[in-house]
Amino acid sequence: MKRKLAALKTSLLAAVLAVMLAACSVQSTQAAVPDLGQVRSICSLATLECYYHNVAKSTKTAGGGITGIFERDRTFWIEYDGIATLGIDMSLVEMDLDGQNVHISLPPAQVMHISIDEDTLNEESFVYSQDGWNKNPVTAAEQTGAIQQAQLQMEETVQSNAALLASAQNRAKSLIENYIRQLGQLTGTDYQVTWVYQGGQPAESAAPPQEASSAA
C-alpha cells in the first residue's frame, strides 16, 4: 500500500509538471522562461515521506498522602506507526535569471509535518505495568501527553538525520531541474543552473556549496 501511495504521488508530480509546461507552451516560446512562482510550487509538492515505528513510554507516579496508600508507580507504553514529511520551505526559495544562467537559492530541508497513522492505534498498542491494590489508573490525558512527547522526540530524531534531509533537498532539486530542462527543450534554450545552498550543504551530500549544472 505504501509503495502504491508513493508511486501515486510521483505520478501526480509528473502530471503537475506537465500542466506547468503545457501552460508555458501556450505562450510565445520566446516569452516562456523559468518562473520563480513555478519553482516554489514544485518545492511545495516535492516532499519526502518517511514511515517510522515509535514507542511512547511514560510513568505515572503513585499518589501521596492517605489516598495514595498502596498505589504503585505505573509505567506504560504506547506502540504506533507514523509518517514524517520532509521538504523545502518554498517561501525561502529565490531565483535569479540572467539570460541562459539560472541561479537558484535553496534553504535546507526540514521536517514539515509529523503525524500518527491512526489505524495503528488500537487496544494492543497500550501496555501497562501491574497496578497496585489501590488503583492508579492512567488517564486519556496522560496517554495523549506521552504520545505528544514521543512525537517531539521523533521529530528531533528525523531533523538530525542529515541523509534524510539531503534526500529531501535533492528531490526538490531534481524536480526543479526537470522543469527547467523541459522548458529549455520547449524554447530551444540551453539553460545553465547554479545552485546556492542557504545555511550550507547537508553533510551527507557530496555536492560543494555551489554547483553548476546544465538543464538542457
Give pLDDT tens digits for 43-81.
Answer: 999 899 999 999 999 988 776 656 556 677 888 999 999
Contacts of 176 (CB under 8 A, 6+ apart): 39, 42, 43, 46, 104, 193
| Chain segment 107-158, per-residue pLDDT in tens | 999 999 999 998 998 888 988 887 766 577 888 999 999 999 999 999 999 9
Give the total number of structural domains in the chain: 1
In this structure, is the dihedral angle defined by the CA atoms of residues 158, 74, 120 and 113, taken in order, positive or negative?
negative
Least confidently predicted of 32-36, 65-69, 78-82, 184-188:
65-69
Residue corresponding to grid cell 538542457: 216
Contacts of 49 (CB under 8 A, 6+ apart): 6, 9, 83, 84, 85, 86
Average pLDDT value for residue range 18-35: 58
Domain membership of residue 26 as a residue range: 2-214
Instruction: Quote the CA–CA distance of 36 and 96 in Å, as a whole number.
Output: 8
